[in-house]
């Protein structure tokens, strides 16, 4: 991490304010315990107001002011949005969307990731910034661009089409190999030459699903190539760590961060509560666990979160007193060693003027400001937690390839979405007090007592074999429906569903039988199934739950199979998962707590240190067994920990 302890930071946009305000802000940042400030995130038009004419006076002053106040700099390269002069001179830089129309200057990220003109101009700026500040003593972290691909990941212009063809040539070598991979014998799509291949713009009918998945892969790789180009310049001029802010969140899916993570010196994520979801705090926990997975289990950095409301959802709800602190400590519990906010001072103008900030429009005599000071004090008290790692013996497999492919245009049920199924499995484990490592298919599974595979529609032979080998060696596996269906080329695995997992699960499904939204079937365990059923039969498995009614009455809905030295469960319908996953956890000897969706119980360990985080999101008090010292209150805990409604505790544990 850029700073010792559990650090507090923020985005700062000094270009929106006068130098008098800068000085006031520096003093208030010191009061708030801010140790890291991100600047120059959107600085291009200030640094280069006309082509080739640079001015660094303002940025120099801001960096020196922060340095004089003991505040470190997270320095943006300034390239996230082009200045108006660039798109005026070179309109070919502007991005094109699926319907073939252009998007114009006036928002942000208005550039094509494949544009050589944009890249050349942007890298010129990066070179200037790196030369000027690469050895500055205040510099703690380089921040490449900003939220790469948030708006412009998928560009459909002719420049992107040519870049896509180059990517396909490198991947498939021969046009016939591409034809085989995409199944172009269907609907007379066979290509005779590379120049016939296009990006998947909108068509009159369903588009080729393999082409769509490859375009997603290309787009992720293309932006990663751009990141590498900026990072290479920074590393030539500086030894300071380089990163960019990921967007591991429910509404962003266009970049495969498993391929990006090895390129980062620090894993950083932006996360905002999404009130369009039924349980936004559960999604926060999942996103934090996935970010930790991207960090390889090591500590990571929360680059952005909101102190209160955002401005981009249909209904921008503020946070109740204590909520921001609970959200922040949930990230820390799940591996974050640095917490930063967007932004420091709430903007008076522009598209984000109603976005919350650490310092709100109403100033320091506010609940929001007092919450910031309280959080800062807590982080100071728990600083010794930094560097420890989250303890978990349960894994959940997550795949961007499956996210892209499982939600294709033609699929058995549009009501079944990948992330909903992933969230459901994670939420059920969280409610049992089980901490989960979210990891990529192909990761070594040997240290886990239980592995959960939700809706892993697309899986390679090697990754499927690794899962089977894990069970054969004594592991415990839970697989949910619509998993193992296709290989990495989106080709159906013939012979019956669930394809790649038939043998390890000991089942075979002849056909899918999705349900209409609102319809349900009764299960023999008293629960109900919705969205999905299958015409399933067991081969070596035992049915532990069956359908009581509907066209599948009497057939298996949940099965259990002994495979080698291990056990594998298959859940063939959309149902309440808590009891089923608790059964699997009990067999795997995974420790669970009393079911409570409003309670976070997470342990971080390192060397001979162990810390128990307890975060109570409910208004009711809770009590848990614990012995040690509460770092927040400074009080000893002997045998039992009492946490008030809405309260938090961080216990340095001792043997009882």
Phi, psi angles (nearest 5°) of residue 136: -70, 135
Question: Which residues are CB-neighbours of 375 under 8 A, at least 6 positions away?
Answer: 8, 324, 325, 328, 339
Cis peptide before 343 (omega within 30 of 0): yes
Count the alpha carbons within 13 Å of 160 in the hemisphere toward its beta carbon: 29
Q: Which of 399, 394, 431 has the alpha carbon at shortest distance from 595?
A: 431
**Distance between CA atoms of residues 471 and 493, nearest Å:** 21
**Distance between CA atoms of residues 557 and 546, nearest Å:** 5
On whether the CB atoms of residues 47 and 54 are closer than 8 A, the answer is: yes
Active-site residue (options: 304, 371, 534, 600): 304
Question: Which residues are CB-neighbours of 257 under 8 A, at least 6 positions away?
Answer: 246, 248, 294, 400
* SS3 category, 86: helix
Bridge pairing between strands 622-625 and 36-39:
unpaired
β-bridge partners, 566 = 563
**Distance between CA atoms of residues 132 and 126, nearest Å:** 10
Active-site residue (options: 147, 283, 431, 600): 147
Q: Which of 566, 573, 506 has the alpha carbon at shortest distance from 537?
A: 506
Q: Nearest 10 degrees: CA dihedral of 198, 227, 355, 350?
A: -70
**Distance between CA atoms of residues 100 and 103, nearest Å:** 10
Tokens, residue 53: 């004419």
Whether residue 304 lies in the annotated active site:
yes
Q: Which of 319, 566, 604, 571 has the alpha carbon at shortest distance from 435?
A: 604
Whether residue 147 lies in the annotated active site:
yes
On whether the CB atoms of residues 420 and 574 are closer than 8 A, the answer is: no
DSSP 638: -
State the catalytic residues.
Answer: 147, 304
């Amino acid at each position: 991490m850029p700073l010792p302890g559990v650090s507090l930071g923020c985005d700062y946009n000094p270009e929106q304010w006068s130098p008098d305000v800068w000085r006031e802000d520096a003093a208030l940042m010191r009061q708030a315990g801010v140790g890291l400030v991100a600047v120059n995130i959107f600085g291009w038009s200030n640094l280069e107001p006309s082509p080739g004419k640079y001015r660094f006076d303002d940025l120099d002053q801001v960096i020196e002011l922060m340095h004089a106040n003991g505040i470190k700099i997270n320095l943006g390269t300034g390239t996230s949005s082009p200045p108006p002069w660039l798109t005026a001179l070179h309109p070919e830089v502007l991005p094109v969307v699926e319907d073939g129309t252009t998007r114009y200057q006036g928002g942000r990220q208005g550039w094509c990731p494949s544009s050589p003109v944009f890249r050349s101009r942007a890298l010129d700026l990066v070179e200037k910034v790196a030369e000027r500040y690469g050895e500055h003593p205040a510099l703690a972290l380089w921040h490449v661009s900003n939220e790469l691909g948030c708006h412009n990941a998928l560009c459909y212009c002719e420049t992107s089409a040519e870049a896509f063809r180059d990517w396909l040539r490198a991947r498939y070598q021969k046009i016939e190999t591409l034809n085989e991979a995409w199944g172009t014998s269907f609907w007379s799509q066979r290509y005779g030459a590379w120049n016939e291949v296009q990006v998947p713009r909108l068509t009159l009918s369903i588009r080729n699903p393999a082409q769509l998945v490859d375009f997603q892969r290309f787009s992720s790789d293309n932006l990663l190539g751009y990141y590498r180009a900026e990072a290479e310049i920074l590393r030539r001029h500086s030894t300071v760590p380089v990163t960019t802010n990921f967007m591991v969140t429910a509404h962003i899916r266009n970049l495969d961060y498993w391929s990006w993570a090895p390129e980062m010196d620090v894993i950083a994520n932006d996360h905002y509560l999404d009130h369009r979801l039924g349980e936004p705090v559960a999604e926060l926990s999942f996103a934090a666990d996935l970010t930790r997975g991207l960090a390889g289990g090591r500590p990571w950095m929360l680059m952005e979160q909101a102190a209160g409301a955002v401005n981009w959802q249909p209904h921008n709800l503020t946070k109740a007193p204590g909520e921001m602190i609970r959200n922040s400590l949930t990230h820390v519990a799940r591996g974050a060693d640095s917490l930063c906010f967007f932004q420091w001072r709430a903007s008076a103008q522009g598209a984000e003027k109603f976005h919350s900030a650490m310092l709100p429009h109403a100033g320091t005599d506010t609940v929001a400001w007092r919450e910031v000071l309280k959080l800062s004090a807590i982080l100071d008290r728990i600083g010794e937690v930094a560097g420890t790692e989250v303890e978990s013996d349960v894994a959940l497999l997550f795949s961007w390839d499956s996210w892209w492919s499982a939600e294709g245009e033609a699929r058995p049920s549009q009501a079944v979405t990948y992330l909903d199924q992933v969230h459901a499995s994670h939420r059920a484990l969280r409610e049992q007090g089980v901490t989960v490592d979210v990891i990529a298919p192909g990761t070594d599974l040997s240290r886990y007592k239980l592995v959960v595979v939700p809706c892993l529609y697309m899986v390679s032979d090697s990754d499927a074999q690794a899962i089977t080998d894990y069970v054969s060696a004594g592991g415990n596996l839970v697989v949910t429906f619509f998993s193992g269906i296709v290989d990495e080329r989106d080709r159906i695995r013939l012979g019956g569903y669930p394809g790649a997992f038939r043998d390890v699960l000991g089942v075979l499904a002849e056909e899918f039988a999705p349900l209409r939204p609102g319809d349900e079937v009764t299960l023999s365990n008293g629960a109900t199934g919705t969205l999905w059923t299958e015409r399933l039969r067991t081969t070596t498995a035992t049915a532990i739950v069956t359908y009581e009614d509907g066209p599948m009455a009497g057939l298996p809905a949940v099965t259990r199979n002994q495979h080698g030295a291990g056990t594998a469960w298959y859940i063939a319908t959309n149902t309440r998962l808590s009891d089923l996953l608790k059964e699997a956890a009990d067999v795997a000897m995974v420790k669970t707590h009393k079911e409570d969706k409003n309670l976070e119980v997470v342990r971080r360990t390192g060397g001979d240190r162990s810390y128990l985080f307890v975060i109570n999101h409910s208004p009711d008090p809770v009590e848990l067994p614990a012995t040690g010292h509460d770092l927040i209150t400074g009080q000893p805990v002997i045998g039992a920990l009492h946490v008030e409604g809405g309260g938090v505790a961080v216990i340095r544990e001792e043997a009882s």
